[in-house]
Structure 1
Amino acid sequence: MIRYAITSRALFPGDEARRQESLIEQCARWAAEDIDFIQLREKDLPAGVLASLARSVLAVISASQTKLLINARADVAMATGAHGVHLTAAPGELTPAQVRHLYAYAERPTPSVSVSCHTLDEVIQACTNGADAVLFAPVFGKIVAGEVITAAAGLEALREACAIAAPVQVYALGGVTLENASSCIEAGAAGVAGIRLFMG
């Protein structure tokens, strides 16, 4: 099972400096646990701060097989030597093919590119555009502080997404827990992704 951890420094206590330190420490633990991918998803940070944080994460995972993907920022990913980029399926966003072209032009190693999808049409588009992996969400819905923010897509939708995407890998995202992760694999997912899922 592929394990894809997504960062959120907002989950840690303290001021900004302490939260970043805690995030780096968490990434080091993930690497020690052989987590396959870490998506650095700190969308509010300016490019320079994000790049500095990415370099710190890369330093602590360098001895592992864990790969670092930068959310949405191909420029930061290339500047820091990150292993790849995570994209959304929104119209007008960079495509996986375009990201690979940028990496090739900069003479960087071929990147890993994942794409988040919420509909089967988005899954088809992501695979057509050359995604290495699809994060399909929200399988079990999005719940914040006990309140349902986004309704669950369901395991049947995940099953359809996996069938459509093949041979591209699909990772289940959204409400995935240790208890229900196996049902995602049974539905055809190659792995699971989450922000809180791997925090314990």
Structure 2
Amino acid sequence: MQLYAITDGTSGREPADRLIEQAARWAAGGVDFIQIREKHLSPAVLRGLTKAIVAAVRKQNSNTRVLLNGAAELAREAGADGIHLAGERLHEIDAVRLRLPGATLSVACHSAEEITQAHEAGATMALFAPVFEKPLPGGRLAGRGLEELEATCAVADGMPVYALGGITVANARLCMEAGATGVAGIRLFAGEGWLLLR
């Protein structure tokens, strides 16, 4: 089971050192991908944070890849291994490949159709969400379920699909049985429980 940790967007409200240390722990513990999702930061601050996280991960001598939820040029300048794109940005993949040759390109998808589009556009991997119901400010977002996860994995044509949305240590194995390559999350990696998945 591969693991894909996503930062929680609190680096502007907490010391950046905490997030850098957390990324180092994820890398040391065997997390395969770390997505830096700190959209509220200015480009200059995000660049500096990304560089620091990349350096911390590299010190672990791990194979962990750092992906930036942001601009390709910024990812290149910061030394990230790739970027994460929202599904509506699929048209940018060719341009990203020019700026980041050999980069890992992660794409957010919410249906089998979007998984097919991501694969055809040349994405490296897809995050399929939400698999399970998840809380949101002011309500809850219904999950698409394991059957739809299985259907999307079936049409991915070899492209890795990571289950996202309401993933816990208890239900992660069900996602693997449905065909997912791994699991992704924010809350899943907030504590130390994810270590049980290794």
**Shared fold, TM over 0.5:** yes
Matches of 1:162 and 1:174, distance apart in 2: 16
Corresponding pairs, count: 189
Q: Is the 8 A contact 1:39 1:70 kept in 2?
A: yes
Q: 2:94 aligns with which of 80, 85, 97?
A: 97
Specify the alignment match of 2:70 in structure 1.
72
Q: Secondary structure at the match of 2:73?
A: helix
Q: Secondary structure at the match of 1:162?
A: helix
Matches of 2:143 and 2:8, distance apart in 1: 22
Specify the alignment match of 1:38 in structure 2.
34
Q: 1:180 aligns with which of 155, 171, 188?
A: 171
Write the deviation string for residues 166-191 of structure 1: whole angstroms up to 9, x where unpaired. 20000000000000000000000000
Q: Secondary structure at the match of 1:35?
A: coil
Question: What one-letter code is carried by the residue in structure 2 that aligns with 1:54?
Answer: T
Q: Is the 8 A contact 1:9 1:19 kept in 2?
A: no
Q: Is the 8 A contact 1:9 1:22 kept in 2?
A: no
1:21 aligns with 2:13: no
Q: Is the 8 A contact 2:132 2:143 kept in 1?
A: yes
Matches of 2:28 and 2:50, distance apart in 1: 17
Q: Is the 8 A contact 1:95 1:129 kept in 2?
A: no
Question: What one-letter code is carried by the residue in structure 1 that aligns with 2:107?
Answer: V
1:125 aligns with 2:117: yes
Q: How far 1:95 moved relative to its partner?
A: 3.3
Specify the alignment match of 2:181 in structure 1.
190
Matches of 1:172 and 1:140, distance apart in 2: 9
Q: 1:147 aligns with which of 134, 139, 148?
A: 139
Q: Is the 8 A contact 1:87 1:94 kept in 2?
A: no
What's the % identity of the aligned pairs?
46
Write the deviation string for residues 28-59 of structure 1: whole angstroms up to 9, x where unpaired. 11011010000000011111100000011011
Specify the alignment match of 2:8 in structure 1.
8
Q: Is the 8 A contact 2:128 2:162 kept in 1?
A: yes
Matches of 1:158 and 1:20, distance apart in 2: 35
Question: What one-letter code is carried by the residue in structure 1 that aligns with 2:77?
Answer: A
Q: Secondary structure at the match of 2:5?
A: strand
Matches of 2:105 and 2:95, distance apart in 1: 10
- Residue 41 to residue 94, structure 1, CA distance change in 2 (3 Å): farther
Gaps of 5+ in 2: 192-198
Where has structure 1 moved over 2 Å in runs of 4 or more? Answer: 92-98, 144-147
TM-score (norm 2): 0.90
TM-score (norm 1): 0.89
1:166 aligns with 2:164: no
